[in-house]
Chain A
Amino acid sequence: QSVLTQPPSVSAAPGQKVTISCSGSSSNIGNNYVSWYQQLPGTAPKLLIYDNSQRPSEIPDRFSGSKSGTSATLGITGLQTGDEADYYCGTWDSSLRDVVFGGGTKLTVL
């Protein structure tokens, strides 16, 4: 059971927009920065978003992040088949004093 809760799967058509939610508590998301990672099949995770909404320079602006209270959201616009992957949220948990991840969400681009 992950500390952060993500939907197991989401799907959308090419060109459409999708959002992936990540729910936590005041000890993690509520008072700490959230990051998002993309893991393409058979590869290592890659940082998409850090500090709630910041993108590394190489990440296209189709990817966005936001946070409100104890929840965070990853948005992906202009979906491409190459976006099919597992997506993980992560943050620091001040009570556990650990980095915690969500269970992951599998994105299918129909």
Chain B
Amino acid sequence: EVQVVQSGAEVKKPGESLRISCKGSGYSFTSYWINWVRQMPGKGLEWMGRIDPSDSYTKYRPSFQGHVTISVDKSISTAYLQWSSLKVSDTAIYYCACGRDYWYFDLWGRGTLVTVSS
């Protein structure tokens, strides 16, 4: 079965670090771009950035550049989204979304809920 499985929900305090993951299976992992999409509570979808698993080329939306890091370990078919210092405003569901082309996403994870609260 073709799927991406995301890590579980996290509850963190402001200033803490976090890394969430997205593991692909059932397909050629390096053939799909991996994107991260944020959905804040009650809001729409925001593209954060993407990575090419074959060479780790990464592209960020400017508003997320410097605040998050996208990485990949193709040896275990897993991509990551990490923060070094979380803010309350990072509270959201984060989706891993994969696409054979970079402009659309045909494979989505179930999402990881990140709650940042003091």
User: Is B44 a contact of A99 with CB atoms below 8 Å?
Assistant: no
Q: How many residues of chain B get a CB closer than 8 Å to chain A's CBs?
A: 21
User: Is A47 a contact of B105 with CB atoms below 8 Å?
Assistant: yes
A88 and B47 CA atoms in complex are apart in Å by: 12
User: Is A98 a contact of B47 with CB atoms below 8 Å?
Assistant: yes
Question: Closest CB-CB distance, B83 to chain A, in whole Å?
Answer: 20
A32 and B104 CA atoms in complex are apart in Å by: 11
User: Is B44 a contact of A101 with CB atoms below 8 Å?
Assistant: yes
Question: Closest CB-CB distance, B88 to chain A, in whole Å?
Answer: 22
Question: Closest CB-CB distance, A52 to chain B, in whole Å?
Answer: 10
Question: Closest CB-CB distance, A28 to chain B, in whole Å?
Answer: 10
User: Is A50 a contact of B106 with CB atoms below 8 Å?
Assistant: yes
Q: Which residues of A contact B62 (CB under 8 A)?
A: 98
Residues facing A in B45-65 (CB within 8 A) are: 45-47, 50, 59, 61-62
User: Is B47 a contact of A99 with CB atoms below 8 Å?
Assistant: yes
User: Is B95 a contact of A88 with CB atoms below 8 Å?
Assistant: no
A33 and B99 CA atoms in complex are apart in Å by: 14
> With contacts A33-B103, A50-B106, A92-B102 known, is A44 near B44, CB below 8 A?
no
User: Is A98 a contact of B44 with CB atoms below 8 Å?
Assistant: no
User: Is B61 a contact of A44 with CB atoms below 8 Å?
Assistant: no
A9 and B31 CA atoms in complex are apart in Å by: 36
User: Is B106 a contact of A88 with CB atoms below 8 Å?
Assistant: no
Question: Closest CB-CB distance, A67 to chain B, in whole Å?
Answer: 13
User: Is A47 a contact of B45 with CB atoms below 8 Å?
Assistant: no
A97 and B61 CA atoms in complex are apart in Å by: 8
Residues facing A in B7-50 (CB within 8 A) are: 35, 37, 44-47, 50
- Enumerate 10 A-B pairs (CB-CB under 8 Å) in ascending A order: A37-B45, A45-B108, A47-B105, A90-B45, A98-B47, A98-B61, A99-B47, A99-B50, A100-B47, A103-B44
User: Chain A interface (Cβ within 8 Å of chain B)?
Assistant: 2, 32-33, 35, 37, 43-47, 50-51, 56, 86, 88, 90-92, 97-104
5 interchain residue pairs of minimum CB distance: A35-B104, A99-B47, A92-B103, A50-B104, A104-B44
